[in-house]
């Protein structure tokens, strides 16, 4: 008889317990168990904070799956899709090829993923705290911050390096804040340039008390202990954005700090997102016995599932405790199904909660009792020690914890070369990305939003906007290539997302890719053509004229997002304009179709596979154009519009009411501005030249140009 094939997707609390229980009940000749996990180990999440705080070694919180489950087929592969109708999974093998595998029963226990995108800028600037890599990276980063603080001669910068911000005061936020605080404060005695008092660990939480999961008396105890240990609790406050400098709060304050850890925000794994099954808030809905609703051979467990607990008729909590019990009870149910017996609903009475708060203190709620302080901390350690999956891990962790009690924490870290990395950066409206005169450190490409280029009128004069940059533009290249300070300042005009390469990576790229080098060199030449450099005398009279003097009305029938490509090209052929605007359903500017873009469109179509080109001209414009076009607002001067067109080599520019409400009010054409400039220069050559040089209207200076 061929054994029943059970495929388990995931290798966390639920999956491991399921595999263990099932193997204990059925022999390999009765049941083939294949467990697919994207990592080859199980992560023991309750100890992640200890890894980040260097109180245990990295490998103590990760147990190799094949050593825990010797009689189970463990595969380190990510499952891409599950076809519940065909009873098949699809996964990528080591060569990148997609394989399909049939199953008799599938168990989905792939957990959830962290989702930092719920707060702008967190993805770019914060550490998530979910997988082992997060804890390792955070530990390395915290130690690197101490090293940089030691090396810094600027007290403000030193304080920034020593400021740590943790967002979210649930279990993981409190534990990680406690561990970082302990690691940094206990290590200050090995550094000479700062003291304990220079360390700032802040915990930001929207409610008026931390640890909403435990009883108020315990939460209050934890608050007092954490404050005594030097942690600043920022309560009743939300983080609304994160930038390179720190975290912006909803009351307008900016909490400065070089380390941000975001412990809030989860999202279903992509596997669950694409699964054709009933879901609620991203979690798979199951029947009481944990089979997916509407299916007889598919089960869902742990954080990815929404399972009603028959004990209290409430949805199960997303904790390791629940995941483990679900793993065990689902395996017993599967055995019942295979033996033709009735299944049982999931039912579990939670045992309690334990949370370490740093400094050998913890809070615990066990079997209805509240315990806090050192005793709770001892209990916390003992419980987790015995919950660890193998005896070798228990010994390892016990040894690490004993070591931590007797000796200082380990401050060594692998100095991986972070200078050659691509990073993402997020800036709020009004933030400066670079300042005129500063040394060049990064090459930036605009992924989203608009920026303005500013130049100062004279060495100490005010800065004025001279051009606008948008999606796809890049900057920093000229100063890096010429090894000189920036000649312009760049400021975010809207919320901006950038992709940045460090100077070391930029030099390597520019040095090794000939086409890229050429592109960057051409951009430098083009930039030296900027209006503010080439024709500074145009600024005074262009600035005095309102932009409305140059405004052409929006062409009669602008295109819509759902206009077909064929209709759009027809409109362009019938129109005298250089291009047409594309509006969204609220009549706001969405994109633009330029005559020059048509060749680009042909090139884009040429790379679409032949069998997918049918009906191309009927497809919507949005399939071919990029949203968020470069534009100026009614508040901009004609000089900014002219400078932007010249810098981008374009002949017209949409004008919108404001950046917050980008309703098109018309467009400006290069020839209208040039015509105006010609008339001004021809009619009052002398006075224009003189007024341009008058102290109040000085031409724009190129401050560092001679360098």
Classify strands 239-243 and 283-285 as parallel, antiparallel or unpaired.
unpaired
Restricting to residues 563-592, name those near ligand FAD by CB under 6 A: none
Gap between the Cα atoms of 192 and 173, Å rounded: 29
The binding track of 90-129 with respect to ligand FAD, each residue x by CB under 6 A or -, is: -------------------xxx-----------------x
Q: Is 500 in the site for ligand FAD (CB under 6 A)?
A: no
| One residue of 121, 178, 302, 536 binding ligand FAD per CB under 6 A | 302
Q: State in angstroms the smallest separation of the CB of 398 from ligand FAD.
A: 18
The binding track of 233-272 with respect to ligand FAD, each residue x by CB under 6 A or -, is: ------------------------------------x-x-
Q: Is 37 in the site for ligand FAD (CB under 6 A)?
A: yes
> Tokens standing for 200?
């700032």
Q: State in angstroms the smallest separation of the CB of 453 from ligand FAD.
A: 43
Using the Cα atoms of residue 661, residue 665, residue 668 and residue 673 in order, give the sign of their dihedral.
Answer: negative
Q: Is 10 in the site for ligand FAD (CB under 6 A)?
A: yes
Question: What DSSP state is assigned to residue 174?
Answer: H
Q: Is 423 in the site for ligand FAD (CB under 6 A)?
A: no
Q: State in angstroms the smallest separation of the CB of 268 from ligand FAD.
A: 10
- Tally of residues, the chain: 707
- Only segment of 40-48, 196-204, 359-367, 567-575 that touches ligand FAD (CB under 6 A): 40-48
The binding track of 51-90 with respect to ligand FAD, each residue x by CB under 6 A or -, is: ---------------------------xx-----------
Q: How many residues bind ligand FAD, per CB under 6 A?
A: 32
Locate the DSSP E strands across 281-397. Answer: 283-285, 298-300, 305-306, 308-309, 314-315, 352-358, 361-366, 369-373
Q: Is 46 in the site for ligand FAD (CB under 6 A)?
A: yes
- Only segment of 10-18, 237-245, 279-287, 477-485 that touches ligand FAD (CB under 6 A): 10-18
| One residue of 303, 400, 404, 473 binding ligand FAD per CB under 6 A | 303
Classified as helix, coil or strand, 177 is helix
Do the beta carbons of residue 490 and residue 469 sit within 8 Å?
A: yes
Q: State in angstroms the smallest separation of the CB of 287 from ligand FAD.
A: 18
The binding track of 147-176 with respect to ligand FAD, each residue x by CB under 6 A or -, is: ------------------------xx----
Do the beta carbons of residue 450 and residue 493 sit within 8 Å?
A: yes
- Only segment of 8-16, 495-503, 555-563, 645-653 that touches ligand FAD (CB under 6 A): 8-16
Gap between the Cα atoms of 80 and 491, Å rounded: 41
> φ, ψ for residue 503 (rounded to 5)?
-60, -35
Helices (H), 530-630: 531-534, 538-544, 565-574, 597-606
| One residue of 23, 45, 159, 295 binding ligand FAD per CB under 6 A | 45
Residue with tokens 């100026």: 632
Q: State in angstroms the smallest separation of the CB of 21 from ligand FAD.
A: 14
Q: Closer CB to ligand FAD, residue 169 or residue 241?
A: 169
Within a 10 A sphere around the Cβ of 595, how many other Cβ atoms? 15
Using the Cα atoms of residue 176, residue 178, residue 181 and residue 185 in order, give the sign of their dihedral.
Answer: negative
| One residue of 19, 21, 36, 494 binding ligand FAD per CB under 6 A | 36
The 3-class secondary structure across 85-125, one letter per residue, is CCCEEEEECCCCCEEEEECCEEEECCCEEECHHHCCCHHHH
Q: Is 130 in the site for ligand FAD (CB under 6 A)?
A: yes
| One residue of 14, 166, 180, 363 binding ligand FAD per CB under 6 A | 14
Q: Is 38 in the site for ligand FAD (CB under 6 A)?
A: yes
Q: State in angstroms the smallest separation of the CB of 304 from ligand FAD.
A: 6
**Sheet architecture: strand order including 664-669:** 551-552, 664-669, 652-656, 632-633
Gap between the Cα atoms of 19 and 33, Å rounded: 7
Q: State in angstroms the smallest separation of the CB of 369 from ligand FAD.
A: 18
Q: State in angstroms the smallest separation of the CB of 674 from ligand FAD.
A: 58
Q: Closer CB to ligand FAD, residue 15 or residue 231?
A: 15
- Only segment of 7-15, 148-156, 196-204, 388-396 that touches ligand FAD (CB under 6 A): 7-15
Q: Which long-range contacts (CB under 8 A, 24 or more apart) does 412-420 make?
A: 412/143, 413/139, 413/140, 413/143, 413/144, 414/140, 416/140, 419/502, 419/503, 419/504, 419/505, 420/502, 420/504, 420/505, 420/508
Gap between the Cα atoms of 706 and 604, Å rounded: 42
Do the beta carbons of residue 62 and residue 41 sit within 8 Å?
A: yes
Do the beta carbons of residue 444 and residue 484 sit within 8 Å?
A: no
**Site residues (CB under 6 A) for ligand FAD?**
9-15, 36-39, 45-46, 48, 78-79, 109-111, 129-130, 171-172, 269, 271, 302-303, 318-321, 323
């Amino acid at each position: 008889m061929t054994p029943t094939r059970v495929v388990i997707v995931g290798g966390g609390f639920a999956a491991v317990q399921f595999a263990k229980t099932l193997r204990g009940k059925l022999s390999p000749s009765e049941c083939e168990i294949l467990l697919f996990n994207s990592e080859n180990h199980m992560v023991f999440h309750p100890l992640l904070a200890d890894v980040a705080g260097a109180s245990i070694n990295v490998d103590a919180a990760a147990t190799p799956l094949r050593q825990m489950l010797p009689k189970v087929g463990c595969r380190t592969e990510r499952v891409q899709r599950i076809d519940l109708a065909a009873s098949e999974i699809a996964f990528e093998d080591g060569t990148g090829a997609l394989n399909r595998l049939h199953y008799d029963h599938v168990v989905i226990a792939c957990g959830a993923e962290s989702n930092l995108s719920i707060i702008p800028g967190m993805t770019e600037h914060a550490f998530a705290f979910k997988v082992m890599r997060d804890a390792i990276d955070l530990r390395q980063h915290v130690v690197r911050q101490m090293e940089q603080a030691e090396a810094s001669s600027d007290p403000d910068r030193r304080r920034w390096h020593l400021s740590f911000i943790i967002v979210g005061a649930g279990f993981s936020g409190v534990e990680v804040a406690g561990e970082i605080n302990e690691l940094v404060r206990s290590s200050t005695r090995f550094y000479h340039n700062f003291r304990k008092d220079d360390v700032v660990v802040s915990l930001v939480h929207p409610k008026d008390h931390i640890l909403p999961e435990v009883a108020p008396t315990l939460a209050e105890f934890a608050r007092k202990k954490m404050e005594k240990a030097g942690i600043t609790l920022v309560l009743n406050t939300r983080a609304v954005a994160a930038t390179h400098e720190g975290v912006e709060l909803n009351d307008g304050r900016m909490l400065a700090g070089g380390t941000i850890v975001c412990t809030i925000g989860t999202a279903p794994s992509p596997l669950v997102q694409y699964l054709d099954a009933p879901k609620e808030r991203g979690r798979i809905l199951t029947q009481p016995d944990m089979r997916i609703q509407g299916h007889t051979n598919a089960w869902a467990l742990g954080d990815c599932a929404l399972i009603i607990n028959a004990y209290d008729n409430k949805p199960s909590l997303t904790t390791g405790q629940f995941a483990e019990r679900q793993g065990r009870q689902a395996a017993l149910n599967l055995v019942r199904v295979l033996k033709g017996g009735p299944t049982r609903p999931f039912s579990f009475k939670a045992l309690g909660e334990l949370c370490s708060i740093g400094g050998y203190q913890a809070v615990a709620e066990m079997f209805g009792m509240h315990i806090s302080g050192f005793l709770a901390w001892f209990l916390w350690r003992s419980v987790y020690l015995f919950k660890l999956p193998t005896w070798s891990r228990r010994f390892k962790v016990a040894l690490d914890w004993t070591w931590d009690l007797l000796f200082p924490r380990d401050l060594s870290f692998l100095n991986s070369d972070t200078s050659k990395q691509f990073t993402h950066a997020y800036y709020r409206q009004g933030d400066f990305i670079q300042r005129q005169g500063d040394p060049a450190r990064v090459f930036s490409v605009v992924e989203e939003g608009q920026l303005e280029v500013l130049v100062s009128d004279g060495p100490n004069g005010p800065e004025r906007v001279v051009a606008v940059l948008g999606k796809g533009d890049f900057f920093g290249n000229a100063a890096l290539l010429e090894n000189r300070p920036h000649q312009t300042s760049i400021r975010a005009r809207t919320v901006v997302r950038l992709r940045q390469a460090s100077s070391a990576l930029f030099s390597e790229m520019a040095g090794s890719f000939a086409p890229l080098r050429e592109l960057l060199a051409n951009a430098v030449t083009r930039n030296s053509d900027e209006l503010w450099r080439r024709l500074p005398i145009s600024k005074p009279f262009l600035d005095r004229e309102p932009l409305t003097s140059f405004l052409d009305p929006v062409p009669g029938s602008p295109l819509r997002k759902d206009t077909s490509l064929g209709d759009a090209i027809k409109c362009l052929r019938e129109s005298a304009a250089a291009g047409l605007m594309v509006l969204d359903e609220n009549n706001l500017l969405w994109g633009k179709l330029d005559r020059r873009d048509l060749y680009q469109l042909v090139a884009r179509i040429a790379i679409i596979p032949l069998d997918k080109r049918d009906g191309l001209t009927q497809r919507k414009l949005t399939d071919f154009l990029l949203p968020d076009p470069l534009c100026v607002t009614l508040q901009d001067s004609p000089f900014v519009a002219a400078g932007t067109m010249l810098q981008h080599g374009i002949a017209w520019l949409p004008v919108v009411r404001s950046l917050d409400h980008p309703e098109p009010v018309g467009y400006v054409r290069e020839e209208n501005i040039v015509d105006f400039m010609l008339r001004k220069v021809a009619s009052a050559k002398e006075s224009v030249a003189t007024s341009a040089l008058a102290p109040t209207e000085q031409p724009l200076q190129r401050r560092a140009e001679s360098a």
